Amino acid sequence: MNNHDAPKPQPTPTTSPAPQPDPELLAAAKAAFENAYAPYSRFRVGAALRTPDGRIFSGANVENASYGLGRCAEQSAIQAMASAGERTFSELVVYADAPTPATPCGACRQVLFEFSPAAQVFCVNTEAQVLHRQVADFLPYAFQLEEG
């Protein structure tokens, strides 16, 4: 028997559960979802984020007849956070009625990266399916100004 015929080791199955969003943050994202203004696409999204000191900021998507003036839920939450003087967040929940968990759009990925590239993101749909990643995972080649 040569090395090519030797049995290959099998990976050990893990029993640790997949990370889940914090229930309080998920509830805030769901509440924001209910306030979404989406008369054109009918695609409602709610987002809620938590700052390192535990404060929660939420936002809903708000559409406009002049489509480019609409605002995504993630950016609404970031703007609420920044308007309150906060500059970082540790966790974000994005909640949407979609067949699979809806991930942030490209513009939101850049905005999220600007504030907290290492933050945890939980994308959740109405069927309770969850996609968990870090902000930086969504945008591996984020635009950054060099600090001088």
Annotated binding site for Zn(2+): 72, 105, 108
> Residues forming the annotated binding site for substrate?
61-67
Pair 95, 33: CB distance under 8 Å: yes
Q: Are 58 and 45 in contact (CB under 8 A)?
A: no
Catalytic residue among 34, 74, 91, 147: 74
Q: Which helix (H) or strand (E) holds 146?
A: none
What is the SS3 string spanning 30-70? HHHHHCCECCCCCCCEEEEEECCCCCEEEEECECCCCHHHC
75-to-27, 29, 129 alpha-carbon distances in Å: 18, 13, 22
Nearest to 24 by CA among 52, 1, 58: 58
Q: How many Cα atoms within 13 Å fall on the side-chain side of residue 67?
A: 2
Please confirm, yes or no, whether 74 is among the known catalytic residues. Answer: yes
Give the residue numbers annotated as catalytic, written as ranges.
74
